[in-house]
Structure 1
Amino acid sequence: MTDTGHQTVREATLDVLRQLGLTTIFSNPSHSEMKLFEAWPDDEFRFVMGLQEASVVGMADGYAQATGEPSLVIINGGPGLANAMGSVYTAASAKTPMVILGGQQARKMLLGEPFLVAKDSTQLPKPYIKWAGEPARPQDVPAMIAQAYQIAKQAPQGPVFVSVPEDDWVRPADPNPVRIARVTSAVAPSDEALAEIAAALDGAERPGIVAGGPVDAQGARGALIELAEKLNARVWGAPVWNRGAFPENHPLFAGVLPPIPELISERLSAQHDVVVVFGGPAFTLFTAWDLFSTAPADLDRSPRPTLPDSVRFLHVTDDPQAAAATLADHSFVAPPGAVVKALVPRVTQRERVELAPVREPVAVPEPSTPLTQAYLFHLLSKELPDDAVLFEELPIARADFHEQIPLGADNGYFATASGALGFPFAGAVGYAIARPDRRAVVVVGEGSAQYTLHALWTAAQQNAPVTFVIPDNSGYLSLKYYLQDQKSWEKGYDLSGVDMAQLARGFGVRGERITTPEGLREALRDSLNAEGPVLLDVMVDDPGLFRL
């Protein structure tokens, strides 16, 4: 309370956070947030400490994806936010709802160049943020946070940022309490849109579906299984699949599309005459086929990426910007999950005819020394709990992962939605904090693990049920195979000497290094049934050139 008996901005903000349900806070605080944390109410707020801001935002990302509600991050708004920008970029790409409070220097010091100042505070996170603001008056802080929360939560969801000068927290609050409005999404697919999509699917000889992460995020995975089975339609995972929307062990699952336009066109045109894309862009692309060549390049006269004219593409997304940039023939701006659910009763039941396989049979790998990552993943699949949630970041080994670990309907699957490394290692910890009833399993190479390594400490402090499995090939092999003259590039990818088990133990997590097949299965079984976090550093052979 102030001398006048009124609430402070800090006290009014805590009231707003309580009303919004933002009572779990992910933070790596600095000097500029200390006034907020004075006389902290530990009995009402859960404070999750992280050792570095990229890990903090990554954990908050995983937490929000577990709960489906915005998470809260409190970090310094200058260098702290700069440290976190790779994770902010990933959260924005995944459309994760998140409120980030950034500490700013005191207002009276902003005319100068104070230590830890956030210059142009609302500009730093742009364009990789949905909205950013700094209140014009101290008493506007609580209302701005409430506004930011509502913006983060509305489709298309995403992270938002509020910069708060340090001295605002101790100023008198507005005597009128903030009124928290109920904001309910009333966006629904129109009958006309549903009729057109249903007619296109019913009229197709060979219908196909591409499933993006929003289908799962909006609770429509079960409905998508019903829709695919009713249509007897193949389902493909969207390129750069960051969230599993369809079980990979289902007979109608055709695999994850490669993020290369030529290969997308080749695979879809060979199988379908109509394709409906539910969720995400159509399509996320990583590179073009010609860029795999190291030969001298000619003047670029090639057209921009296109899709084959022989296939009719329909695209459903709740992101107007993705709709505007679509490669599809017709894009519908509507919640993908709601559209999938509404289509199930509208389409006609087809005869269940077994479709010719589009994927080659997967060989069962054999034990060897050195171990192969395929054998590691094969054993892991045998020991996984039925409801385990997997977080994967394997730029060089995704094919082996998905071949050997065909995830079922009750498994969750998360990966980075952007090219920035580090989300799964931290995201799994945040997910486990939100859902301690499910085992989170991280499968990340030792190179990717370095980006949010600090999350291990938080996992230990929270006794989070996370199993970290590191297929350790001693290098950034996604870089190794880009250049033909590998020896001259060795310093750019060689990671020999990194001992992940020792690093884990240094952060308080039980770590074990495994170099031979003997005992691997038992180690996996033990780590998946442990009470808290465990890391297995499994030394594997070079997997060779990555497969799409």
Structure 2
Amino acid sequence: MATQENNRSVRDATLDLLRELGMTTIFSNPSHTEMKLFEAWPDDFRFVMGLQEAAVVGMADGYAQATGTPSLVMINGGPGLGNAMGSVYTAASAHTPMVILGGQQARKMLQGEPFLHAKNATQLPQPYIKWAAEPARPQDVPALLAKAYNIAKQHPQGPTFVAVPEDDWVRPAGPPVKVRTVEAAVVPNPAVLARLADELNAAERPALVAGPAVDAQGARYELVRLAEKLGATVYGSPVWPRASFPESHPQFAGVLPPIPEMIAERLGAHDVVAILGSPAFTLFTSADLFSTADAELDTSPLPGLPEGTRFLHVTDDPEAASWSMADAAYVCPPGLAVKQLVPLARQRNGVAAPVQKPTYPVPQASEPLTQAYLFHLLSQELPEDAVLFEELPIARADFHEQIPLGPSNGYYATASGALGFPFAGAVGYALARPDRRAVVVVGEGSAQYTLHALWTAARHKLPVTFVIPNNSGYLSLKYYLADQEAWHVGWDLSDVDMAQLAQGFGCPAERITSPDGLRDSLKKALAADGPVLLDVVVEDPGLFRL
């Protein structure tokens, strides 16, 4: 306990530090090893409870992306962090600034194997965090937390982790930690920007690839201006986790598929391509891996880009630059680079020719419902400034075809292959931005990973509308081995009733099986005072399209 000479505990010092850093919202699913922090919990802190650690970290991810500042998480550093690792992996992929405090057993217990022990605590979240620490002395906790905060918010941003033994919180604190100013002072080299501008200005058929960092760094509208001045075609980066360019813009040519052969096919028509704020490139598979036939010795070339096209890569991630397939990579803040390129870009004569986009038939009502019809109605009822969170491994094409997101729409999706971010991320976003309607469009399979976030949404009466196109299975898996009857059990999710599950968590919900009243249900759900879930049963959409 604190002594008479020093009546401030590590907990007191930490809370004072968190106030100074502006981290007074904490996301948690606490266990025994965190209880000492929460004793005499102050009224000026907001405690956001989650029912499972993956949902807790997912909510903190959405909150940080909404605020642009590090969020704070407190979970058990052993099994709790293990539960959350899929969400930590996604936060790292999205470069989300986040500080995770992991509960550890009391110091005197660590010689054995105590219950809830976080063995080798700093190693468990590796390599999906920027930095991890465990205090050598109890009084070091606030200083380590300040360091974790500053490292998390520096570019490339990402989660950090500090494991804190349970009894450290009530030990005497050391001298107050001085909160130092650590500002991002890295700026684009003017000579580099001039070369970039010269190459883009001289290009006959320029293209821009819009990565998530452009939007995260506040340069979305400047990217529109840059594209318009250059007359450039704009593509979304593969596995587009955040919209940095409006899909409704006439120069937008869609999101690049995460397959090297298809990327080369689409970008090969351009003489200069600038990749702004994304890796070059995030890949999921290659064309030859779609075959289920026995494979021979692999003598195929590594993934590559088309000859005759010059690729320029702007990223704030030195590691991504080191393995980039581009001809030249420049390490600097992409958002700031875009802003400073706008006045350097030469205004081309006339208006850029719009990208020739395919037209799609208007989906019609049917029984069973199609997801295309659901998305068509949803697009007509969406608030103009709605923020969409999407995770549809099998249905992303229908989503973007029917819901062309405009300049006022926010868009977030998982930045990794781990499922579950949008369901929880929207809840965290709504906690930070209750003035905007968050709309979650997630399949019933993906929803299971962070389903517990419904309870938090209901408890806080958050403006989140959950729309579930329920096709009764993990259909992204079904079509890989569709001809194997034994594989049926590997993808079949029939009889999952999302409406009943939502109601069990206290979230109003409705199950919809026909087009009758669907539009009215969407209207009410998008205008509700609090969360609503619509479980819309749809037919199998067939093999996914890229």
Alignment match, 1:187? 186
Cα distance in 1 for residues equivalent to 2:506 and 2:513 = 22
Alignment match, 1:35? 36
Cα distance in 1 for residues equivalent to 2:498 and 2:136 = 47
Alignment match, 1:51? 51
Alignment partner of 1:148 is 2:148: yes
Cα distance in 1 for residues equivalent to 2:445 and 2:481 = 18
Asked if structure 1 preserves the Cα contact closer than 8 Å seen for 2:94 and 2:241, the reply is yes
Alignment match, 2:259? 260
Alignment match, 1:171? 171
Alignment match, 1:81? 81
Cα distance in 2 for residues equivalent to 1:236 and 1:330 = 19
Letter in 1 for 2:31: S
**1:199 partner SS:** helix
Alignment match, 1:230? 229
Alignment match, 1:99? 99
Q: Which runs of 5+ in 1 are unaligned?
A: none
Alignment match, 2:494? 496
Shift of 1:355: 2.9
Listed one character per residue, the Cα deviations across residues 113-160 of structure 1 (whole Å, up to 9, x for unaligned) are: 100000000000000111100010000000100010000000000000
Alignment match, 2:238? 239
Alignment match, 2:333? 335
Alignment match, 1:201? 200
Cα distance in 2 for residues equivalent to 1:432 and 1:524 = 19
Shift of 1:484: 3.8
Cα distance in 1 for residues equivalent to 2:138 and 2:351 = 65
Equivalent residue for 2:524, pick from 522, 526, 539: 526
Alignment match, 2:220? 221
Alignment match, 1:423? 421
Asked if structure 1 preserves the Cα contact closer than 8 Å seen for 2:228 and 2:352, the reply is no
Cα distance in 1 for residues equivalent to 2:428 and 2:259 = 32
Alignment match, 2:320? 322
1:373-392 alignment, distance < 5 Å: 373-392=371-390
Shift of 1:276: 0.1
Alignment match, 1:71? 71
Cα distance in 1 for residues equivalent to 2:484 and 2:333 = 46
Cα distance in 2 for residues equivalent to 1:2 and 1:186 = 40
Alignment partner of 1:544 is 2:542: yes
Cα distance in 1 for residues equivalent to 2:484 and 2:95 = 37
Cα distance in 2 for residues equivalent to 1:299 and 1:114 = 49
Alignment match, 1:487? 485
Alignment partner of 1:372 is 2:366: no
| Aligned residue pairs, count | 545
Shift of 1:518: 1.1
Shift of 1:362: 1.8
Alignment match, 1:348? 346
Asked if structure 2 preserves the Cα contact closer than 8 Å seen for 1:480 and 1:486, the reply is no
Letter in 1 for 2:52: Q
TM-score, normalization by structure 1: 0.99
Letter in 2 for 1:49: M
Asked if structure 2 preserves the Cα contact closer than 8 Å seen for 1:22 and 1:71, the reply is yes
Asked if structure 1 preserves the Cα contact closer than 8 Å seen for 2:252 and 2:355, the reply is no
Alignment match, 2:398? 400
Alignment partner of 1:436 is 2:437: no
Cα distance in 2 for residues equivalent to 1:193 and 1:486 = 55
Q: CA RMSD in A?
A: 0.9
**2:343 partner SS:** coil
TM-score, normalization by structure 2: 0.99
Asked if structure 1 preserves the Cα contact closer than 8 Å seen for 2:50 and 2:456, the reply is yes
**2:313 partner SS:** strand
Asked if structure 1 preserves the Cα contact closer than 8 Å seen for 2:28 and 2:48, the reply is yes
Cα distance in 2 for residues equivalent to 1:534 and 1:402 = 23
**1:160 partner SS:** strand
Cα distance in 2 for residues equivalent to 1:373 and 1:318 = 38
Cα distance in 2 for residues equivalent to 1:169 and 1:447 = 40
The worse-fitting range, judged by mean Cα deviation, of 198-207 and 345-354 is: 345-354
Letter in 1 for 2:204: E
Alignment match, 1:158? 158
Equivalent residue for 2:447, pick from 449, 460, 466: 449
Cα distance in 2 for residues equivalent to 1:57 and 1:296 = 41
Listed one character per residue, the Cα deviations across residues 187-213 of structure 1 (whole Å, up to 9, x for unaligned) are: 100111101110110010000000000
**2:360 partner SS:** coil
Cα distance in 2 for residues equivalent to 1:23 and 1:61 = 16
Alignment match, 1:90? 90
Alignment match, 1:250? 249
**1:429 partner SS:** helix
Alignment match, 1:281? 279
Change (3 A) 1:264 1:358: farther
Cα distance in 2 for residues equivalent to 1:431 and 1:351 = 41
Shift of 1:483: 1.3
Asked if structure 1 preserves the Cα contact closer than 8 Å seen for 2:232 and 2:352, the reply is no
Cα distance in 1 for residues equivalent to 2:349 and 2:468 = 44
Q: Which runs of 5+ in 2 are unaligned?
A: none
Shift of 1:361: 1.0
Alignment partner of 1:139 is 2:136: no
Asked if structure 1 preserves the Cα contact closer than 8 Å seen for 2:250 and 2:354, the reply is no
Listed one character per residue, the Cα deviations across residues 87-134 of structure 1 (whole Å, up to 9, x for unaligned) are: 000000000000000000011111101000000000000001111000
Listed one character per residue, the Cα deviations across residues 422-464 of structure 1 (whole Å, up to 9, x for unaligned) are: 0000000000000000000000000000000000000001111
Asked if structure 1 preserves the Cα contact closer than 8 Å seen for 2:3 and 2:172, the reply is no
Asked if structure 1 preserves the Cα contact closer than 8 Å seen for 2:457 and 2:531, the reply is yes
Alignment partner of 1:293 is 2:291: yes
Alignment match, 2:25? 24
The worse-fitting range, judged by mean Cα deviation, of 513-522 and 351-360 is: 351-360
**1:345 partner SS:** helix
Cα distance in 1 for residues equivalent to 2:337 and 2:293 = 46
Cα distance in 2 for residues equivalent to 1:325 and 1:361 = 37
Cα distance in 2 for residues equivalent to 1:139 and 1:50 = 29
